[in-house]
Amino acid sequence: MNFPYPLLHEVWYWLSWCLWLPLVLLAAGRARWARFGEEGGRFLNVWLAMIVVFILLWSMKAGIKPGLDLHLTGIMLFTLAFGPALAFLGLNLVFLGLTLNGAIGWQGFALNALATAGIGVALATLIHRAVDRFFPRHFFIFIFLKGFFGAALTILGIGFFSVLLYGLDGAYDWNILLGEYFPPYLLLGFSEAWLSCMALTLMVVYYPRWVVTFDDKVYLVGK
């Protein structure tokens, strides 16, 4: 997602900086940095590699009008693999890479980070915890409810937030947002779900230690 400056009223950009900074500090305080030293730093290498992959992934996008961009996010996968704190920080580094590449302007950095990484990680974490609370701990439930349906719901939530923000700001007419911008998210949600589910399956089967929210003793043993 991209909220280019000054498409929205300037107050949104300043408010986002005020919210972004404490959230980054909170995430940095809660992040499990000790994991980066495990297995000879392999976990850190995976985290950095995924950031690079996401920079490339998010650079491939389609747009309807200025600011109405569509692209895959992979946020549910990132959140399940590294936990909400490291996922939020990693996604902020993705936006930093896009900013340095000139894909987005620095004025909209905080707003874009909050609207995509903040909202996305929050939704992914909520879905992850809800599935654990209301459903049995089973491998297929982890893969399909979290990796597939959770990924689709996450990107739909991000799209709905974008529509809501543009509509309340008056940057675009509601007919354009609801009739032209949001419907493609339904197709994008399926693509997001399929890719996230496939990648998550490969990770938990071959490299389960790379997924901090997955425990084979909980999801596999005795099932």
Residues 172-186 have a mean pLDDT of 94
- Report pLDDT for 117: 96
Percent of the chain with pLDDT over 70: 98
**Predicted local confidence at residue 128, as pLDDT:** 97
- Classify residue 2: in a domain, yes or no: no
Average pLDDT over residues 127-148: 95
Determine, yes or no, domain membership for 212. yes
Q: How many domains are there within the chain?
A: 1
Contact 16, 110 (CB under 8 A): yes
Nearest alpha carbon to residue 75 among 125, 31, 40, 112: 125
The mean of the pLDDT values for the chain is 93
Look at residue 132 and tell me if it is in a domain: yes
Spatial CA neighbour of 111 closest among 146, 161, 150, 157: 161
What is this structure's pTM? 0.95
Q: How many residues does the chain have?
A: 223
109: containing domain: 10-219
pLDDT band, residue 160 (cuts 50/70/90)? very high
Q: What is the pLDDT of residue 222?
A: 65
- 186 occurs within a structural domain: yes
pLDDT beyond 70 at 200? yes
Q: Residue 118 in contact with residue 172, Cβ under 8 Å?
A: no
pLDDT(1) > 80: no
Q: What is the pLDDT of residue 102?
A: 83
**Which CATH number goes with the domain that contains 50?**
1.10.1760.20
Assess if residue 73 is contained within a domain.
yes
Residue 107, pLDDT above cutoff 80: yes
pLDDT in tens, 20-50: 999 999 999 999 999 898 877 899 999 999 9
The 10s digit of each residue's pLDDT in 69-84 is 899 999 999 999 999 9
Asked whether residue 4 is domain-assigned, the answer is no
In a domain, 58, yes or no: yes
- pLDDT value for 223: 59
Does a structural domain hold residue 5? Answer: no
